[in-house]
Structure 1
Amino acid sequence: MNRRSLTAVSLAVAAVLSLSACGGGGGKSGEGDEIAGADGGGSTSAAPEPSASPEVERPVIKLPKDMENVFEGGATGDPVVEAVLRDNEGRITSLDEAIHTRSLERPAFGFYNTGQAARGAAVWVQGFYDDGITWTGTVRYYDRKVTVEGKEKDKALLSYCSDETKAYNKDIKTGKTSGEVDDSADSRVFYITRLVKNDKGVWQTTEVNSKRGASQCR
């Protein structure tokens, strides 16, 4: 299976797959786990968020050249929706940075992830460490849909699909890749994610659900 499956540590999504606007990604582990920087702090630097004032700087995230994420549909004309999408992109990339650097202590991880999402993501990333692998190639994120919730417009539900057809596990010691699949549907994952805008104006992911091979992404 392309990359290491996130589904094994994700929440069940059967009850929410029928929602018209969805979102998603991780899993959960022990309730007492703490993730460094999960209060949304950390060293920073990056592009401005249209909906936050004053603007908080985002952590710089650096990935190797052979690890690429492609995000489709970011320009919607709605500054709140675009802010949600941008910080979700930051979250996804922060997980890949943690995989690449072999560290969950990078500033971006706790900046974009909190609560159940942070704990589940930590379990998923730790799996890469335990297996002695990273990943290489390109993952495409598409069909991204946002529903903004709450009177203060400080909550959001985000659904999207990922296509891991061109992403492969890579053994850290040997550099060899693996993960080719016969059925391309196994390389597509449907996500439903909940986000909350914190007092710094950052849309942090609080809950993630995923389903590999979901019909929504075929």
Structure 2
Amino acid sequence: MRTRTTTAAATALTAAVALLLTGCGGSDASTTKDSDEIAEADSGSGSSKPSVSPSSDDIERPEIKLPSDVKNVFEGGTTGDPVKDAVLADNERRINSMDEAITVDAKKYPALKFYSKGDALASAATYIMSFREENRSFTGKTRYYDREVTFHKDDVASVTYCMDATQTYPKDGTTGKVDRSVKASPSDYVFHSTRVEKNAKGVWQTATVSSTEAAKRCM
């Protein structure tokens, strides 16, 4: 039940997103306040506490905190392959970093850029800014399942997974009022296909994302 960005809305937000991403790499006096907040999500700040189960690596990771009324459930557990598990863990962190930027009122979101880059960072920015532009958020539980990792090279892989947002509800960004009258629909089932690349720090960053709403394979 998360309202997603329509093609028209995405087009309208292109300029704002461009400013946001420019801000990620430097300063821009014309960047809006909201863009500034997300743009400060650089990889050099934040707590070292991981957002999901502690891993055996020594990477200093930004902390991710979601509100108590927002819950992401990642099904499947560990695969038994430590490299695949590391990829899936960073995929979880990437998803949580986006939801944090939507649902948490903060000056900085360091995890957003830490786990996304390139086209994936741009699409994340568009998605987040669509919520900001309409002053809305969401609450509830989102389920992620049928998660698979396919390696192409040692440092490049694909991650595919389904998302079930039938138990999330729109939330007014100002009043905090939740609209539970919204009914679940096929569009709440989304199939995601992503490309992830391991950077010099050992983080599996999401580089590209392709999403299909009302995906039958996820119903």
**Does residue 114 of structure 1 match 2:117?**
yes
Counterparts of 1:22-33 in structure 2, within 5 Å, are 30=18, 33=21
- Let me know the Cα RMSD of the aligned residues: 2.4
CA distance in 1, matches of 2:188, 2:162: 10
Displacement of 1:45 in angstroms is 1.5
Tell me if structure 1 keeps the 8 A contact 2:75–2:144: yes
CA distance in 2, matches of 1:123, 1:105: 17
Residue number in structure 2 paired with 1:95: 98
Closer/same/farther in 2, CA of residues 207 and 5 from structure 1, 3 Å limit:
same
Closer/same/farther in 2, CA of residues 67 and 191 from structure 1, 3 Å limit:
same
Tell me if structure 1 keeps the 8 A contact 2:189–2:215: yes
CA distance in 2, matches of 1:199, 1:149: 18
Aligned partner letter, 1:191: H
CA distance in 1, matches of 2:207, 2:105: 23
Residue number in structure 1 paired with 2:31: none
Range that drifts further, 98-107 or 69-78: 98-107
Aligned partner letter, 1:143: D
1:33 partner SS: helix
2:21 partner SS: coil
Range that drifts further, 99-108 or 80-89: 99-108
Q: Percent identity?
A: 45
Give ranges in structure 2 of 5+ residues lacking alignment: 11-16, 25-38
Closer/same/farther in 2, CA of residues 182 and 109 from structure 1, 3 Å limit:
closer
Displacement of 1:163 in angstroms is 0.4
* The structure with more helix, counted as a fraction of residues: 2
Tell me if structure 1 keeps the 8 A contact 2:20–2:125: no
CA distance in 2, matches of 1:6, 1:192: 18
Question: What is the TM-score of this pair, normalised by structure 1?
Answer: 0.80
Tell me if structure 2 keeps the 8 A contact 1:163–1:187: yes
CA distance in 2, matches of 1:174, 1:44: 30
Question: What is the TM-score of this pair, normalised by structure 2?
Answer: 0.79
Displacement of 1:115 in angstroms is 0.7
CA distance in 2, matches of 1:31, 1:49: 34
Residue number in structure 2 paired with 1:23: none
Aligned partner letter, 1:68: K
Closer/same/farther in 2, CA of residues 68 and 105 from structure 1, 3 Å limit:
same
Residue number in structure 2 paired with 1:61: 64
Q: From 139, 142, 147, give the equivalent of 2:145.
A: 142
Give ranges in structure 1 of 5+ residues lacking alignment: 12-28
Higher relative contact order (CA 8 A, sep 6+): 1
Tell me if structure 2 keeps the 8 A contact 1:74–1:85: no
